[in-house]
Chains A and B, each alone.
Chain A
Amino acid sequence: MGTLDLERPTPSTGQKYDELLSMPGDMMCAEAAAIPRATCEYTPRGQGFLLGKQRSFDRQYAHLYFSRLLKLRQVVQQQVQAAWPGTPVVKILSVGEDQEVAVIGTLYKDMKLKPSILDEYAKQPGFKQALGGTGFCSDDDSLVLEDEGARMSMRSECAELQPDSVVTGVVLAVRGRAEPGGDFVVSGVLWAGLPEQPQRPLPQEDAYVALVSGLQLANSKADMMQVQLLVDFLTGNLGAAPQQQLAAKVVQLVIAGGSLGQLEALAAANPYSRQQTTDMEPVRDMDLVMTELAAALPVDIMPGPDDPANVSLPQQPLHQCLFPGAAPYSSFRRVTNPHAFELDGCLLLGTSGQNIDDMAKYTRGRSRLDLLACCLQWRHLCPTAPDTLTCFPFGADDPFVLQQCPHIMLAANQPEFDTRLLEGPGGASVRLVCVPSFITTGTLVLVNLRTLQCQPLIFQSNYTSS
């Protein structure tokens, strides 16, 4: 972690855990004044991810790709005019051999190892090879460009555009010429680039947004002691004055998916058996944890990959009946995945990690943080949907196209903590965070809204219930 630019914790002033351990009526106890929690103005920005009454699944995904191409074409076209003045922009059908042209289209990656339902019928050995590897990349992957009229295969001579580093579904512009054999030889490439970042007022004082994911309360390895330590820290019941002062600066907690995980016991149970009551215990535990948190600070809960919500992106908020205790709190918000909101003008955008997990399977040599940066560079939150990532068949819109550049962007449920400050053109700076799964790492991530610096807090307990 030495290479990461992390915020250092406030040095302890030698105080021990005096206030919390002192006798009632003690002098120390009386002196300790209540620490007020900082507050922030919260504005939801993810209305496009709410499906509402749309429940029509009989549409084809062609509409989504069409909307994506049309939404991003104008942006990419501006980039082309700025970077390659004089190069004509043409449709695929009118690409000639005589002249160098620019073409805007959607990328498709032809992959031998990509699992396909048709393999079972075609009896090709491709699927078996895929089972052995960790990713689905192979050395003979090739790139294809599509627009609304046609598709053409590409051979790239440019280092930025190699099959291993890109994914299906990205809208881009390529420059080059068609060779007599039929392939388009690419000599230059342009992405949509970072969207415009809204200006934000710089806060005078430190305020933190806390990010956590993957509590996995239904998992047999879940450690309630560890979770309780997290809750106690956030509610200000842990540590001495410096820790409590830090906790009081947390203005918002985002639980980015994976709170429950798979309820395997419940899925297998006989609906009439009494066993069901004990199998439901994780759901009650989750409600208890949320109630305790919501009583202390604003909480946003997003659904994650294994949670009891719909699988396809955008995942809709978890059902209210899962939280009989926490739901009445106005500080408790059940939100979508992906989720976007503003805290005093600081825009935060995050997913529970499905987009990055899926892109990681289909690329080589890029870290999870790089892929998160790519999402911004490509101006699309989950380019692999709907190809390898399931998503709702939108008609006239692609809500995953980024309209504004966030100040903080996160992917949750990742294998390890990672962070970087991405500097964009025009003074834009984005804090990228990979939030690790709490059950395996015990990590809570605090991001400072003033400086956009980031610090992980790790909770560990050696307590065993047996």
Chain B
Amino acid sequence: MQQARITDNFRQQKNFDSISRTSRDKKQQKAPELPGAHGEAAVTNYDISAEERLLRAFDLATQYGPCTGMTRLERWQRAEQFGLNPPMQVKELLTGPQGEQLNQCLWDGRV
């Protein structure tokens, strides 16, 4: 009969491999490469979707305050709270199914 060992239930060593891999994954997720940010196509933004274009315009609108260090939704809510009437479309995009991915501002992971 095989005896149960304590190491069956408790790992002997922390699995550092998996930890570092997930954190690296996160980092990669956080700073996606801008399409056409380098090289010849650096000036054009031909493959940016209309939604992303709208959100970037919102990021760069100075009347809603600085945009780094907070999510787009937080910034939209702050603008709303101060009565600045931020565009409704932006909120619809950010609370929609794609919201999670679109929530970080233009400069996230780059500054």
Contact = CB atoms under 8 A, between A and B. Distances in A.
Interface of A: 58-60, 62-63, 66-67, 70-71, 148-149, 393, 395-396
Given A67-B78, A70-B82, A71-B82, A395 B63 contact: no
Contact of B78 (A59, A148, A149, A395): A395
Contacts of A62: 65-66
Given A149-B62, A396-B70, 15 more contacts: A59-B68, A59-B69, A59-B70, A60-B68, A60-B69, A62-B65, A66-B65, A66-B66, A67-B78, A70-B82, A70-B84, A71-B82, A395-B78, A396-B74, A396-B77
Interface string B77-105: 11001101000000000000000000000
Give the interface centre of B62, B74, B82, B84 by most chain A CB atoms within 10 Å.
B82
Contacts, number: 36
B69 A63 contact: yes
Interface of B: 62-63, 65-66, 68-70, 74, 77-78, 81-82, 84
Contacts of A67: 65, 78, 82
A396 B66 contact: no
Nearest to B84: A70
B69 A396 contact: no
B69 A148 contact: no
9 closest A-B pairs (Cβ-Cβ)?
A: A59-B69, A396-B78, A66-B65, A62-B66, A70-B82, A395-B70, A60-B69, A148-B62, A63-B66
Contacts of B70: 59, 63, 395-396
A66 B78 CA distance: 10
Contact of B81 (A60, A149, A396): A396
Contacts of A71: 82
A181 to B, nearest CB: 27
Nearest to B77: A396
Contacts of B84: 70
30 contacts: A58-B69, A59-B69, A59-B70, A60-B66, A60-B68, A62-B65, A62-B66, A63-B66, A63-B69, A63-B70, A66-B65, A66-B66, A67-B65, A67-B78, A67-B82, A70-B65, A70-B82, A70-B84, A148-B62, A148-B63, A148-B65, A149-B62, A393-B69, A395-B69, A395-B70, A395-B74, A395-B78, A396-B70, A396-B74, A396-B78
B62 A63 contact: no
A395 B84 CA distance: 16
Contacts of B62: 148-149
Contacts of B63: 148
Nearest to A91: B63
A148 B77 CA distance: 18
Give the interface centre of B65, B68, B74 by most chain A CB atoms within 10 Å.
B65
B63 to A, nearest CB: 7
Contacts of A66: 65-66
Nearest to B66: A62
A422 to B, nearest CB: 29
A36 B78 CA distance: 50
Contacts of A393: 69
Contacts of B68: 59-60
B31 to A, nearest CB: 15
A62 B70 CA distance: 12
B15 to A, nearest CB: 27
A58 B71 CA distance: 13
A395 B70 CA distance: 7
A59 B84 CA distance: 22
A70 B66 CA distance: 13
Nearest to A66: B65
A396 B79 CA distance: 9
A149 B61 CA distance: 11
Contacts of A70: 65, 82, 84
Give the interface centre of A67, A149, A395 by most chain B CB atoms within 10 Å.
A395
Nearest to A69: B65
A379 B63 CA distance: 23
Contacts of A60: 66, 68-69
Contacts of B82: 67, 70-71
A59 B68 CA distance: 7
Contacts of B77: 396
